[in-house]
Amino acid sequence: MYLFPHNSQWQEDFEREQRAILSAFCGAIDVFHIGSTAIEGLYAKDCIDVLGVVDDISAVAQSKQQLIDLGYVYKGEYGIVGRQYFSRPQAAPQSRQQGKQQRNPQRKTHLHIYQAGDMQIDKHLHFVKVMQGNSTLIAELNQLKRSLAAKYPNDKEAYKMHKKCFYDRLNCAN
């Protein structure tokens, strides 16, 4: 597991991504920053999670090529019924561009699109709402993440499984 202390660049990267998605998407879509990179002070993997909400999930088909043109790879539901999932790998920094190193290489991004009313939307937005500004919960989750990353450095599934208890506890309070 590669965990990083909060990086203020994550919010700027999300905003750039949000603008690109909004301009590429054919139709109406609401775009939210979700996951650990959305929480100031929280350790996270260096990957921006983006939530897209549409009135009709079938509308995603009309924008699939435009999202692919942004560098996303379409993965379908990818194990979660009702989701349309796109992943964009991190772009390798260009070695030299007019004598300068590229300042902001494109960060890895996951785009999760759901139809309005899907319970996954509330789960993702609830996490951000509860965690933002809650220093006690942020410290608790940071400690848990670092401990699990040290214990399971090469076992992503075990890391996620043991972290799930924390997330379940937050969702029960919803």
pLDDT tens-place string over residues 135-170: 999 999 999 999 999 999 999 999 999 999 999 888
The string of DSSP letters for the chain reads ---B---THHHHHHHHHHHHHHHHSSS--EEEEESGGGSTT--B-SEEEEEEEES-GGGHHHHHHHHHHTT-EE-TTTTSTTEEEEEEPPPPPPS-BTTB--SSPPPEEEEEEEETT-HHHHHHHHHHHHHTT-HHHHHHHHHHHHHHHHH-TT-HHHHHHHHHHHHHHHHHT-
Position 171 scores a pLDDT of: 80
Position 97 scores a pLDDT of: 47
Q: What percent of the chain has pLDDT over 70?
A: 89
Please tell me the pTM assigned to this model: 0.89
Domain 9-91+107-172 has CATH 2.60.260.20: no
- pLDDT tens figures, 27-73: 999 999 999 999 999 999 999 999 999 999 999 999 999 999 999 99
- Domain range list for the chain: 9-91+107-172
